[in-house]
Chain A
Amino acid sequence: MKKNSFSLLILMLACFTFIVNKVNGQLPTNRKTVFLPGNIPVYFIRVEQGSFLMGTKLSETGSQPDEAPQHKVTISREFYLGQYEVTQSQWQAVLGENPSVFKHNGISGDLPVEMVSWNDIQLFLQKLNSFGIGIFRLPTEAEWEYACRAGGSDRFPWGNDPEYKFLGEYAWFYSRAEGKSHPVGQKKPNAWGLYDMQGNVWEWCVDWYGKYPADSITDPKGVEHGNEHIIRGGSWFNEPEALRSANRHRHPVDSRQTNIGFRLILEQ
Chain B
Amino acid sequence: MKTRLILLISFSFSFMSWGHEVEYQNDSIISIEINSGVPMHFRWIKPGVFLMGTPGIEEGRDPDEGPLHEVTISKGFYMGINEVTQAQWKAVTDSNPSVFQQGKIPFDRPVESVSWEDCIRFIKILNKKGIGLFRLPTEAEWEYACRAGSETPFYWGNEKNPALVSSYAWGNSWSYATTHPVGQKLPNAWGLYDMSGNVWEWCSDWYGDYIENQQTDPTGPLNGTEKVFRGGSWYDFPVSLRSGNRHRHVPDRPFTSIGLRLVMEKEVPR
Contact = CB atoms under 8 A, between A and B. Distances in A.
Nearest to A201: B177
B257 A259 contact: no
A71 interface: no
A259 B102 CA distance: 13
Contacts of B234: 179
Interface string A77-95: 0000000000000000000
B235 A101 contact: no
A211 B176 CA distance: 24
Nearest to B233: A179
A227 to B, nearest CB: 17
Given A179-B256, A179-B257, A174 B235 contact: yes
Nearest to A114: B177
B258 A115 contact: no
B172 A177 contact: no
A83 to B, nearest CB: 25
Given A101-B99, A115-B102, A177 B177 contact: no
Contacts of B240: 176
Given A101-B102, A101-B178, A180 B172 contact: no
Contacts of A256: 102
Interface string A227-268: 000000001010100000000000000001111000000000
A237 B235 contact: yes
Interface residues of B, number: 21
Interface secondary structure of B, over-half rule: loop
Interface in B232-258: 233-237, 240, 247, 249, 255-258
Contacts, number: 50
A101 B172 contact: no
A230 B236 CA distance: 24
A43 interface: no
A177 B249 contact: yes
B107 interface: no
Contacts of A101: 99-102, 178
Given A101-B102, A177-B235, A180-B256, A259 B247 contact: no
B200 interface: yes
A109 B249 CA distance: 25
Interface string B204-247: 00000000000000000000000000000111110010000001
A215 interface: no
A63 B237 CA distance: 20
Contacts of B236: 176
Kindly list the 7 A-B residue pairs having the minimum CB-CB distance in the complex, ordered from nearest.
A179-B235, A259-B177, A179-B257, A237-B177, A179-B256, A258-B177, A177-B255
14 contacts: A101-B101, A102-B256, A103-B99, A174-B235, A177-B200, A177-B247, A177-B255, A178-B255, A178-B257, A179-B177, A235-B177, A237-B177, A258-B176, A258-B178
Interface of B: 99-102, 172, 176-178, 200, 233-237, 240, 247, 249, 255-258
Given A176-B235, A177-B255, 6 more contacts: A101-B100, A101-B178, A179-B234, A257-B178, A258-B100, A258-B177
